[in-house]
């Protein structure tokens, strides 16, 4: 059966064109000029987003999130593909351990979920995981949540990943510089007597890894950068021609330490940094140093986030709010980037870098897309989330842009009417 989506502003070759989209057998059959002019409040048809940094918490921590709840939250946010981080139990460090995760994905996921394999056994930073057995089934290798402390181990991992044609996606964090910190080592930490996390704990390990990339030729991706020094290092590496990319997250683009409150919903790793860091990240978006935006969606139980900045677990949720926040504040209000650039950062660039199909809305492509009402205004309310996680620093923010339907391979996986049955 064929479905026609009529009179939408469809993404086509970097611009939005009034179009009718025909979908058949899970594929886009055609995208043609709309039979009638789009209305003033036409829906936008965007290619499904890809988030390369998501914590779905299953197996091992399903009280925080499950693949079922996490992928439904992702679909609501316009995502049709997510890459699941490996800090799980069991950690996917062998084919057998990975299979436990793959079985749940096959059973419960409503969109494409591609797991990471660990760099080291149980993310302990010592012996390498069974990277060869994992490689055909994972998007990349990461010990996310922990920096690989040993340069020798990271070099061996890079050499192995290169031989397998896989990315190393690095969580860069030097444990020697953490000192029990819970927020950025800046003005807020000093004013409130809190231990701080210095910027060098991030950029120092990036600098080490970039030197290893020079020696190994490994394809390297830096997770959730938050400092101006990280931006500068990656910019210089790209100018050298190194095979390096990076991501940042919405909270680092929209918030700084000046916005902190003593609530768990403001605690994440890396922490919110300074205004100068935020400005450097925005400049990196504009000049191409920052390649993509990922949410680092990291749900926790309410109790784990109820102990203020000092005692709460690190991590916030973001799948259901990322696009509305970025569209409202970076595109619509600040005009820092264009809507076209935002689509590139959230959809095309991450897919391209991680080796996924990057066809957009073209005939023959999988019908992975979302319909957005960009004029719909509302207030972010965590009580309405599909994710089990509720911790967001953006609670109460006013945004524009509501996803009214997400299709994965032509099937509707999110519509507002599905809210009750998807919870």
> What 8-state DSSP symbol labels residue 94?
S
d(CA 5, CA 287): 35
Q: How far apart are CA 246 and CA 169, in angstroms?
A: 9
* Contact between 91 and 122 (Cβ < 8 Å): yes
Angle at which helix 67-76 crosses helix 95-108, to 10 degrees, equals 60
CA 168 distance to own-chain centroid:
16
Active site residue 51: no
CB of 92 closer than 8 Å to CB of 118: yes
- How distant, in Å, are the alpha carbons of 70, 77, 310, 325 from that of 387? 6, 11, 24, 17
Cα distance between the two ends of the chain: 29
Angle between helices 275-287 and 228-239 (to 10 degrees): 30
Measured between alpha carbons, how far is 313 from 292 in angstroms, rounded to an integer? 26
Separation of alpha carbons 162 and 217, rounded Å:
7
Strands 44-47, 49-54: pairing is: unpaired
Sorted by sequence, the CB contacts under 8 Å of residue 383 that are 6+ apart come out as 390
C-alpha 219/C-alpha 137 separation (Å) is: 18
Report the candidate in 81, 73, 68, 71 with the shortest Cα–Cα distance to residue 107: 68
Instruction: Taking the CA atoms of 233, 171, 292 and 245 in sequence, report the sign of the dihedral they define.
Output: positive
Per-residue tokens: 214: 């020079």
Which stretch of DSSP H or E encloses residue 220? strand 220-222
Q: How far is CA 288 from CA 249, 283, 338, 342, in A?
A: 15, 8, 13, 12
The catalytic position among 112, 143, 185, 296 is 296
CB atoms within 10 A of CB 307: 13
Task: Examine residue 90 and say whether the peptide bond preceding it is cis (omega within 30 degrees of 0).
Answer: yes
The catalytic residue positions are 296
């Amino acid at each position: 059966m064929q479905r026609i989506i009529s009179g939408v502003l469809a993404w086509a070759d970097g611009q939005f064109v009034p179009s009718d989209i025909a979908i058949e057998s899970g594929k886009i059959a055609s995208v043609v000029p709309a039979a009638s002019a789009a209305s003033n409040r036409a829906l936008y048809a965007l290619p499904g987003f890809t988030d390369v940094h998501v914590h779905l918490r299953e197996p091992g921590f399903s009280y925080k999130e499950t693949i079922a709840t996490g992928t439904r939250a992702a679909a609501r946010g316009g995502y049709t593909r997510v890459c699941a981080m490996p800090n799980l139990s069991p950690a996917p460090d062998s084919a057998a351990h990975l299979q436990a995760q793959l079985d749940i994905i096959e059973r419960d996921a409503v969109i494409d979920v591609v797991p990471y394999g660990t760099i080291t056994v149980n993310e302990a930073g010592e012996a390498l995981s069974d990277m060869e057995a994992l490689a055909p089934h994972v998007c990349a290798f990461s010990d996310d949540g922990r920096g690989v402390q040993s340069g020798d181990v990271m070099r061996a991992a890079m050499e192995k990943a290169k031989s397998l044609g896989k990315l190393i996606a690095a969580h860069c964090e030097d444990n020697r510089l953490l000192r029990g910190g819970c927020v950025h080592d800046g003005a807020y930490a000093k004013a409130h007597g809190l231990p701080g996390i210095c910027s060098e704990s991030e950029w120092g390990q990036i600098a080490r890894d970039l030197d290893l990339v020079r020696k190994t030729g490994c394809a390297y991706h830096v997770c959730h950068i938050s400092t101006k020094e990280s931006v500068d290092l990656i910019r210089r590496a790209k100018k050298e021609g190194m095979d390096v990319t990076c991501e940042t997250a919405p909270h680092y683009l929209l918030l700084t330490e000046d916005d902190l409150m003593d609530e768990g919903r403001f605690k994440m790793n890396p922490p919110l940094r300074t205004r100068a860091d935020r400005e450097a990240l925005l400049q990196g978006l504009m000049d191409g140093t920052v390649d993509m935006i990922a949410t680092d969606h990291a749900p926790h139980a309410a109790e784990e986030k109820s102990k203020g900045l000092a005692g709460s677990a690190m991590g916030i949720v973001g799948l259901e709010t990322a696009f509305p926040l970025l569209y409202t504040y970076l595109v619509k209000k600040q005009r820092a980037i264009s809507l076209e650039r935002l689509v590139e950062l959230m959809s095309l660039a991450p897919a391209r870098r991680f080796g996924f199909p990057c066809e957009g809305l073209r005939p023959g492509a999988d019908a992975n897309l979302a319909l957005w009402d960009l004029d719909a205004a509302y207030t972010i309310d965590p009580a309405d989330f599909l994710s089990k996680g509720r911790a967001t620093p953006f609670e109460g923010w006013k945004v524009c842009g509501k996803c009214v339907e997400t299709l994965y391979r032509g099937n509707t996986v999110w519509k507002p009417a599905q809210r009750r049955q998807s919870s």
